[in-house]
Amino acid sequence: MTASTTTTGRSQPVRLAGLGSYLPERVVTNDDLAQVLDTSDEWIRTRTGIRERHVLASDQATSDLALAAARQALDDAGTTVDQLTAIVVATTTPDHTVPGTAPLVAAALGTEVTAFDVNAACSGFLYGLRVGSSLLATGDDAVLVIGAETLSRIVNPADRSVAVLFGDGAGAAVLVPDERASLGPFDLGADGRDPSMLWAEAGGSRTPVDAEVLTGGSHFITMRGGDVYRNAVARMVASSQAVLDEAGVKVEDVDVFVGHQANLRILEAVGQRLGIPADNTHVTVDRHGNTSAASVPLALTDARDAGRLTPGDTVLLSAFGAGLTWGSCLLTWQPSGPARPAGTDGSGAAA
225 binds ligand UT7 (CB under 6 A): yes
Q: Which is nearer to ligand UT7, 109 or 197 (CB)?
A: 197
Please tell me what DSSP assigns to residue 17: E
Bridge partner list, 173: 19, 145
The least CB distance from residue 284 to ligand UT7, in Å, is 14
User: In DSSP terms, which residues pair with 118 in a beta bridge?
Assistant: 90
DSSP lists the bridge partners of residue 26 as 55
The DSSP string of 238-290 is: HHHHHHHHHHT--GGG--EEEE--S-HHHHHHHHHHHT--GGGB---HHHH-B
Return the residue nearest ligand UT7 (CB atom): 225
262: contact with ligand UT7 by CB under 6 A: yes
- Residue 161 carries which side chain, given as an amino acid letter? S
Is 226 among the residues that bind ligand UT7 (CB under 6 A)? Answer: yes
What is the spatial distance between Cα 82 and Cα 280, in angstroms, rounded to a whole number?
37
List alpha helices for the chain, DSSP H.
Answer: 30-36, 41-48, 62-77, 102-109, 124-137, 160-163, 211-216, 225-247, 264-274, 285-288, 295-305
Q: Helices 295-305 & 124-137, crossing angle to 10 degrees?
A: 80
Residue 199 binds ligand UT7 (CB under 6 A): no
Among 32, 43, 234, 347, contact with ligand UT7 (rule: CB under 6 A): 43
d(CA 89, CA 91): 6
Closest CB to ligand UT7 among residues 180, 288: 288
Specify whether the CB–CB gap between 46 and 106 falls below 8 A: no
Q: Which of 5, 29, 39, 272 binds ligand UT7 (CB under 6 A)?
A: 39
Q: Please report whether residue 122 would count as binding ligand UT7 according to CB under 6 A.
A: yes
Q: Which residues in the 52-111 window bind ligand UT7 by CB under 6 A?
A: none
How many residues bind ligand UT7 (CB under 6 A)? The answer is: 21
Position among 26, 45, 47, 340 found at the interface with ligand UT7 (CB under 6 A): 47
CB of 323 within 8 A of CB of 197? no
Distance, in Å, from the CA atom of 4 to the CA atom of 152, rounded to the nearest integer, reads 33
Strand-pair category, 314-321 with 256-259:
parallel
Q: Which is nearer to ligand UT7, 23 or 33 (CB)?
A: 33
Nearest CB to ligand UT7, comparing residues 194 and 253: 194
Binding track over 157-176 against ligand UT7, x by CB under 6 A:
---xx--xx-----------
- Contact map string, positions 263 to 292, toward ligand UT7, x by CB under 6 A: x--x-----------------------x-x
User: What are the residue numbers of the active site?
Assistant: 122, 260, 290
Rounded least distance, CB 319 to ligand UT7, Å? 8
Taking the complex as a whole, the smallest distance from the CB of residue 290 to ligand UT7 amounts, in Å, to 5
Nearer to ligand UT7, 160 or 219 (CB): 160
Burial class (CB in 10 A: 0-12, 13-18, 19+), 106: buried
The stretch near ligand UT7 (CB under 6 A) out of 70-78, 186-194, 221-229, 238-246 is 221-229
Q: At what angle do helices 62-77 and 102-109 cross, to 10 degrees?
A: 50
- For 218, the enclosing helix (H) or strand (E) is none
Q: What's the closest the beta carbon of residue 39 comes to ligand UT7, in angstroms?
A: 3
- Specify the amino acid at residue 316: L
Nearest approach in angstroms of CB 291 to ligand UT7 is 9
Instruction: Tell me whether the omega of the peptide bond preceding residue 297 falls within 30 degrees of 0, making it cis.
Output: no
**HSE-CB for 41 with a 13 A CA cutoff:** 9
- Residue closer to ligand UT7 by CB (options 12, 240) is 240
Candidate segments 23-31, 225-233, 274-282, 303-311, binder of ligand UT7 by CB under 6 A: 225-233
Q: Is 35 in the site for ligand UT7 (CB under 6 A)?
A: no
Binding residues for ligand UT7, rule: CB under 6 A, are 39, 43, 47-48, 122, 160-161, 164-165, 225-226, 228-229, 232, 262-263, 266, 290, 292, 320-321
